[in-house]
Structure 1
Amino acid sequence: MLLQKRLILSTSSDSMVIAKLRSIMEIVANRVEMHKSIGEQRDNWNHLLLASINAITLAAASMTGIAAISATSGSVMALKVSSALLYLAATGMLLVMNKIQPSQLAEEHRNAARLFKHLHGEIETKLALCNPTIHDVSEAMDRVLALDRAYPLPLLGAMLDKFPKDVEPAAWWPQRSQRQVEGLGSKIKGNGWEAKLEKEMREIAGILRRKDIPEYLRLSKKALNFNKVLAISGPLLTGTAALGSASMGNTNGLWAVMLGVIGGALATVVYTLQHGGQVGMVFEMYRGNAGFFKLMVETIESNIRERYTERRENGEILEMKVALQLGRSLSELEHIAALSSENRGTKMKEFASKLF
C-alpha cells in the first residue's frame, strides 16, 4: 500500500512537471511570434522613416534653390518659411530615429526570435525524449527571463542603450554558478571525457577568449563610433540648412543659399549612409557574435570545472557541437587546439571560428 501511494505521488509530480514545461513552451512560442511581428514593424520603421526624411530634406533643399532664383518677394518669403519648417521637421524626426535606431531594434528582435525558437526546440526535445525534472522547469524559466532582459519588447523605459559607453558582448543566458574545482586527472575517464579532450577544450576556450571575442568587440566599437559620428552629423547638417534657408535675402544671401542647399544634400547622404546602411544593425550583429563566443567559453569552462564527469555534458557531443558552431570539422578543431598549444608564447594569427 505504501509503495502504491509513492508511485501515485511520483506520477502526479511528473505530470505537474510536464504540465509546467508545456506551459513554458507555449509562452516561448508566443514570444517567438511577438518578436517576429515587432521586428518586422521596426524594420518597416527604418525604411519608411528613411524615405520620409529623405523626401522632406530634398524638398526643403529644392525650395531653398528655387527661392534663391525667384524674383517675387512674396513667393521668396513663402519658400523660405516652408524650407526652414521642413528642415526643422527633418531634424526632429532624425533625432528620434537616431535615438531608437530602428535597424538595430529589428536585429535585436531577429536574434530574440531565433533564440526563443531554439529554447522552444530544447523544451520540446526534453518532453519527447526524457523524463523532465523540476530543475528543467527552473532552468527554462531562468532562460526565458534572461532573454526578456537581454532583448526587451517595449521601447519606453526598457530599450537597450543604443550608444553605450562601454561595449560588452550580448548576454542572453542566466549566470552559471562558478564551481572552483579541478578538472580530470590523467587516468580518469567517463561520459565521453578524457584528459586529451579536456586539454583540447581548454585550448579552444582560450583561443575564443584571446582572439575571437576581442576581435568582435573591436569591430563593435568601430561600428558604434561610426554610428555616433553619423548620428551627430545628420541633425547638425539639417539644423544648419534650416538656419541658412531662413537667412536668405540678407546681406549674406549667397552663403545662406549654399548652407540651405548643400547642407540639405549632405544631410541626405549622411542619414542614407547611417540608416540605409543599417550601421546600428551592424553594431548589434558584431555585439551578438561576441556574445555567442562568450557563451561557448562559459559552456566549455562550466563543463571542465565540474569534477564529476557524469554531471557534465557528454564530451564527444560537446566536441561535435563546438566544432560545428565554429564552422570546423573535428580534425580541424584538434589541429587549431594543437596549434594554440604549440604557439603559447607567440601571437597566433588564426581565429577559432571560420563561421563569421
Structure 2
Amino acid sequence: MPKIQNSTFSLPNLTTRDLVEQLKLTNSGYTNTTTTHIQKLPKSPSNSPKTSPKYDSKVSDPVAIAKLYAIMEAVDDRVEMHKNVGEQRSNWNSLLLTSINAITITASTMAGIAATTIASGSGPLAELKLSSTLLYLAATGMLLIINNLQPSQLAEEQRNAARLFKQIREEIHTTICIGNPSNKQVKDAMKKVLALDKAYPLPLLGVMLDKFPKKVDPATWWPQQQRRQAKGLGERNDKNGWDAKLEDEMREIVGVLNRKDKEDYLRLGEKALKLNKILAISGPLLAGLAAIGSAFVGSPSHGSWAVVLGVVGGALSSIVNTLEHGGQIGMVFEMYRSNAGFFKLMEESIESNLKDREVERRENGELFEMKVALQLGRSISELKDFAASSSVKGKAMEEFASKLF
C-alpha cells in the first residue's frame, strides 16, 4: 500500500456511470431470471384462489365460528360451576354425617348416665333427660333432611355433569379445528348443552331429581336423535365405509348391550335403591324412638324399655346413618343409573345410523366402528370377534359387551 502522507490525500475519482447500470451489466443473467420468475408467478394455478377453497371466505362462516366459541365459553363456566357445587355437596355429606353421629352418640350417652343415676337411688336428673331428648329430636330432623337430599348422590350428579360438559367442549373444539362449521352444528351444540342442564340441574328446590323413583330408568342427558347431515369423509367409496358385515356387527353389539350390560346395571340400581330406601327410613325412625325413650327414662310405669330405646335406639341410628351416608349408597345408585344411560346412548347412536338408509348421511363406518370399540374398551379386532361369537345361534353369551365397567 502507498505510504500515507501527513498532507491531505486524494481518492480516485468515481466513474460517472450509474451504479444501477453497472449492476445490470454485471448481473444480467440473474436479473433476467428473477424477472422471468416474477412474471410467471401470477400464472401459477396452485396460487389461484379458485383452486384453494380451504381459504375461501365464502366457505367458512365467521358467525357460526363465533357462536361456537360463545357456546364453549358457556360450557367452560358450567364445568367450573358443577365442579365447585359437587365439592360443596361432597363436603355436606361428610360434615353432616360426622355431626349427626356425634349428636346421636352424645344423646345416647346422656340417656345412659341418667338411667345409671336413677338406678343408684340418687334420683333422676331432669337436665340429662331433657338434653338427651333435644339432641335426639335435632338428630331426627337433620336425618330427615339429609336422607331426602342424599348429598352423596348430588355430588355424583355434579361430577357426571362436569365430565359430560367437558365432552361437549371437546366436540365443539374438534368441530372448529376440522373447519367449515355450519349453523346446524351450532344448533346441535346448543341442544346438547340445554339437555344436559335439564338432566343434571344445579338448584335443589323445585327441580332436584327424584332420589327415590318408583322405577329405575337410565339417565338421559342427550337430545332426541334427529336426521343428520352428510358426514362422509371423502370419496373413498360410495358406501361411506359401511357394508353389510359392519351393519350386522353393529346389530349384534346393540343386542348384547340391551340384554346384558344395560339390564345388569338397571338390576343393580334397583337393589341399591331398595337398600337406600330401607336405610333412609330406619335412621330417623330409630332416632325418633330413642328420643321418646330418653324422655321416659326414670318413669316407674314404663320400666326398663325406655332405657333400652334411649340408649340402644341411638346406637342403632348411628350405625344406620354411617352405612347409608358413609357408604354413599345414593352415589352408588346414581353411578349405576348413569352407566345404564351410557349404554342406552350407545344403542340409540348405533340404531340411528342403521335406520338411515342413505349411507352418505351416516357417520363414516370405519370411524364409527373405532369409536364404538373405544367406548367398550376393546380393539377393533376384538370387537369383530365378539360380534361374530355373539351371533352364533344356540350359544348362551356370558360375556358383557363393555370391558370398562
TM-score, structure 2 normalization: 0.81
| Deviation digits for residues 148-169 of structure 1 (CA, Å, limit 9, x no counterpart) | 0100010000100000001100
Alignment-derived partner of residue 3 in structure 1: none
Alignment-derived partner of residue 286 in structure 1: 336
C-alpha distance in 2 between matches for 1:134 and 1:118: 20
More helix by proportion, 1 or 2?
1
Aligned positions, number: 340
Alignment-derived partner of residue 240 in structure 1: 289
C-alpha distance in 1 between matches for 2:242 and 2:365: 5
What SS is found at the alignment partner of 2:321?
helix
Matched, 1:274 2:324: yes
Native 8 Å contact 1:80 1:248 kept in 2: yes
Deviating more after overlay: 317-326 vs 170-179: 170-179
Alignment-derived partner of residue 8 in structure 2: none
- For 1:272, the aligned partner's letter is T
What SS is found at the alignment partner of 2:304?
helix
Matched, 1:134 2:183: yes
Alignment-derived partner of residue 149 in structure 2: 100
- For 2:160, the aligned partner's letter is N
Native 8 Å contact 1:247 1:253 kept in 2: no
Residue 71 of structure 2: which of 15, 24, 27 is its match?
24
Larger radius of gyration: 2
Alignment-derived partner of residue 48 in structure 1: 95
Matched, 1:174 2:228: no
Distance 1:278 1:232, change over 3 A: same
Q: Once the 2 structures are TM-superposed, how far is the Cα of residue 297 of structure 1 from its aligned partner?
A: 0.6
TM-score, structure 1 normalization: 0.92
Q: Once the 2 structures are TM-superposed, how far is the Cα of residue 310 of structure 1 from its aligned partner?
A: 1.8
C-alpha distance in 1 between matches for 2:250 and 2:148: 42
C-alpha distance in 1 between matches for 2:137 and 2:395: 56
C-alpha distance in 1 between matches for 2:170 and 2:59: 25
- Deviating runs (4+, > 2 A) in structure 1? 9-13, 71-75, 345-348
- For 2:254, the aligned partner's letter is A
C-alpha distance in 1 between matches for 2:106 and 2:375: 49
Native 8 Å contact 1:189 1:195 kept in 2: no
Alignment-derived partner of residue 270 in structure 2: 221
Alignment-derived partner of residue 356 in structure 2: 306
| Deviation digits for residues 245-267 of structure 1 (CA, Å, limit 9, x no counterpart) | 00111122411111111101111
1:77-116 aligned at under 5 Å gives the runs 77-116=126-165
Alignment-derived partner of residue 153 in structure 1: 202
Distance 1:56 1:164, change over 3 A: same
Alignment-derived partner of residue 15 in structure 2: none
**Runs of 5+ unmatched residues, structure 2:** 1-55, 229-236
Native 8 Å contact 1:163 1:228 kept in 2: yes
C-alpha distance in 2 between matches for 1:132 and 1:41: 38
Alignment-derived partner of residue 58 in structure 1: 105
C-alpha distance in 2 between matches for 1:211 and 1:178: 28
1:301-340 aligned at under 5 Å gives the runs 301-340=351-390
Deviating more after overlay: 97-106 vs 326-335: 326-335
| Deviation digits for residues 126-147 of structure 1 (CA, Å, limit 9, x no counterpart) | 1122210000110000000000
Q: Once the 2 structures are TM-superposed, how far is the Cα of residue 348 of structure 1 from its aligned partner?
A: 2.2
C-alpha distance in 2 between matches for 1:335 and 1:260: 63
How large is the Cα RMSD of the aligned pairs?
1.9
C-alpha distance in 1 between matches for 2:226 and 2:164: 22
- For 1:80, the aligned partner's letter is K
Residue 241 of structure 2: which of 185, 192, 213 is its match?
192
Residue 299 of structure 2: which of 243, 250, 256 is its match?
250
